[in-house]
Amino acid sequence: MYLISALVLGFIIFMIVYARYMNISGDISRRKIQVDNFRDQVEFRVKRLVIGTRQINDEIALELERLEELKSELRNIGEIKC
pLDDT at residue 2 is higher than 90: no
Does the model's pTM come out above 0.75? no
Look at the alpha carbons of 63, 65, 67, 70 in this order and tell me if their dihedral is positive or negative. Answer: negative
pLDDT in tens, 20-66: 888 888 888 888 999 999 999 999 999 999 999 999 999 999 999 99
User: Quick one: pLDDT at residue 33?
Assistant: 92
